[in-house]
Structure formats: structure tokens, C-alpha cells
Amino acid sequence: MKWLLLGLTVFLASCASVSKIGPGDVAVNEKMVARLGSAWNRIDVPGKGKIEMWTADGLPLDSLMFYPAIGDGEVLVEMQGRKAKQQPRFHATMQPIEIVELFDAVIAGEGSNFKLDKLSPVTFAGGNGFRFDFSILRKGDEVELGGAGYGVVKLGKLYLMVFRAPKIHYFGKHIGNVESIASSIQIHN
């Protein structure tokens, strides 16, 4: 079994590609545009669906995830080992706290522990959105991560941007840049 997992990991790693993006305006999955003040790395993994992942210093040191234009009844992430009916799904009528709970379900599916620290209204992508600050105790290495997420529902679709990084150093290092990116987001219909 160990050899199978090792082989699968090597195979998946060989399929992913990394490209430098920014500074400047960068398209996010053709649904959003972000203005970057510095360079980031876009990680493209085949079969990831609508999700787009960026990192400044490399995984697992930090990640900036975009979930653009998630429609009513769609999942944020296809969770392995769950049947279609068991997948947590977005609904256009969800309130911000319910969307945070949806994200929490994804984190719990990874085996990590999620704790909401703060939820507040903000302008995001030109709409009445929300910001949620959170902590995660990451499964496997027990590293405590800090996180900040921004979301808005426009025309029945969810636009979500989530940053997470170890609290020790990387969260503080990048949160200012992440806040600038969040304030620059524009939606393309």
C-alpha cells in the first residue's frame, strides 16, 4: 500500500505545473480578476474543477485558494470517499455563516480542525460580502494555521477567496498582500 501511495504521489506531482503570475492584473479562472502587487505562483493541477490555487512561498507554507462562480447546488470541493448526496453543496440562499460552515466541512473532510475566530461584513468584488478569520490545526503535522476568507454571492453564484498559512511566520508575512488582493477583486460575468 505504501508503494501505491508513493507512486500515486509522484504521478500527481508530475501532472501539476507551476507558473509565475503578477505583478499586475491576473485572471482567475476566467471569472475574476485580481491585481497583484508582487509575484505569486499559480499551481495548476488537472481535474481540480473551478478551483484555482496560488502560493507565495510554496506549499505547505501558504496557499491562496479561489472558488469562482460556484453555482447553486454545486460543491466547493469534490470530497473523496463520499457519495454525491453526501457532498456539502452551496445554495444561493445561504447566509455568510452557512457558507463558512460549508468551508468548515471541506476542512473537516481533510481531517483538520477548523475554528471560526471572526465573521464580519465587508465589500468584496464590488458587493456586500463577508470576511471570516479562522484557525486550523492541520492534520498530520499539527501545525496551527491562520486564515482569512472573503466571499460574496452575486447573481446566485458564490465567489470565495481563502488564504491560509502557518501562524508562526507565513500568515503575518502575507496577510497584508492578501488583503490588498481581496480589495482588488473584480468579477467578470
- Look up the CATH number of the domain holding residue 146: 3.40.1000.10
Using CA atoms, how far apart are residues 19 and 54, in angstroms rounded to an integer?
A: 9
Q: What is the chain's percent helix, strand, coil content, to nearest 5?
A: 25, 40, 35
pLDDT digits (tens, 9 = 90+) for 19-53: 999 999 999 999 999 999 999 999 998 877 789 99
pLDDT digits (tens, 9 = 90+) for 136-180: 999 999 999 999 999 999 999 999 999 999 999 999 999 999 999
11 part of a folded domain = no
5 part of a folded domain = no
Using CA atoms, how far apart are residues 97 and 157, in angstroms rounded to an integer?
A: 16
Predicted confidence (pLDDT) at residue 79 exceeds the cutoff of 90: no
Residue 98, number of CB atoms within 10 A of its CB: 11
- Taking CA atoms, 148 is separated from 50, 103, 141, 151, 164, in Å, by 20, 12, 21, 10, 7
Q: Note the residue count of the chain.
A: 189
Pairing of the two strands 52-55 and 63-70: antiparallel
- Please state the domain count of the chain: 1
> What is the pLDDT at residue 45?
84
| Residue labelled with grid coordinates 460552515 | 101
183, three cell numbers: 480589495
3 part of a folded domain = no
What's the sign of the alpha-carbon dihedral 47, 178, 131, 114? positive
Q: Which residues contact 47 (CB under 8 A, 6 or more apart)?
A: none
Which residues span the domain enclosing 71? Answer: 17-187
